[in-house]
Amino acid sequence: MAKGTHGQDVSDPVPRSEHDARHDAPAPRDVTSLGLFLIFARIGLTSFGGGLSGWFMREFVHDRHWIGEDEFLNGLALSQALPGVNVKNLAIWIGYRLLGWRGAVAGFCGIIFPPAVVIILLGVFFSAIASFPLTHIALAGAAAGAIGLSLSMAITAARRLPRRVFPYLVLAGTFVAAAVFRVSLVWTVLIAGALSVGCEYLREARQP
């Protein structure tokens, strides 16, 4: 590999950015299985519905800088394409990315078991006070917050799409198929996913 006069690598004329360096860097040394479990448990106990993915992004990308934003969005897309609960899939992916199979187990246990206990307790509590109008108002407010967080995450992901026509066509087509025509999500994911992967593969193959 060629070196410049000061020992700098000159084979690549484009300098690597701090974001790229962090994207390729190994997991931080202070990541532990117990720490991941506690982080996921805290997020699961203090978040609502689909908004958890937004909290994941804030926690691991913006606050701790353990995962790059592009990498996180790739993991989010993968977790949504796989069967099962999206948030659970994403927690397993983040845990595995940071700490291998131990992190995957910690992510799964942290995001599932503590919230499950609280959900059972809250279910018993809300069933006892379901006759009060304030209960339904509180649930409506929680639903509005979850929808807002999910919308924020969707807008963030859409803004990171490559500035090309085809990704936006897939985005619009997926929305129309699922929201307007009520097409099965299985067929939507299979068709849109296959088209996206195939188009990206061909585009990469044509590049030098």
Q: What is the pTM of this model?
A: 0.63
Q: Is 45 left (phi over 0), alpha (psi -120 to 50) or beta?
A: alpha
Does 32 have pLDDT greater than 80? yes
Instruction: Report pLDDT for 137.
Output: 87
Range with top average pLDDT, 72-86, 105-119, 178-192: 105-119
Does 28 have pLDDT greater than 70? no
208 or 5, greater pLDDT: 208
Residue among 158, 164, 188, 162 at smallest CA distance from 174: 188
Domain residue ranges in the chain: 29-160, 163-208
Least confident of 11-20, 82-91, 133-142: 11-20
Q: How far apart are CA 163 and CA 171, in angstroms?
A: 12
Residue given tokens 């845990």 in the structure block: 95
33 or 205, greater pLDDT: 33
Residue given tokens 């006892």 in the structure block: 128
Instruction: Report pLDDT for 39.
Output: 95
Q: Give the chain's mean pLDDT.
A: 81
Instruction: Report pLDDT for 125.
Output: 87
Instruction: Report pLDDT for 12.
Output: 43
Least confident of 46-55, 57-66, 130-139: 46-55
Does 109 have pLDDT greater than 50? yes
Residues 34 and 21: beta-carbon distance below 8 Å: no
Instruction: Report pLDDT for 5.
Output: 42
Beta bridge partners of 9: 3
Instruction: Report pLDDT for 11.
Output: 41
pLDDT, average across residues 100-114: 95
Instruction: Report pLDDT for 167.
Output: 85
Instruction: Report pLDDT for 102.
Output: 95
pLDDT, average across residues 83-109: 93
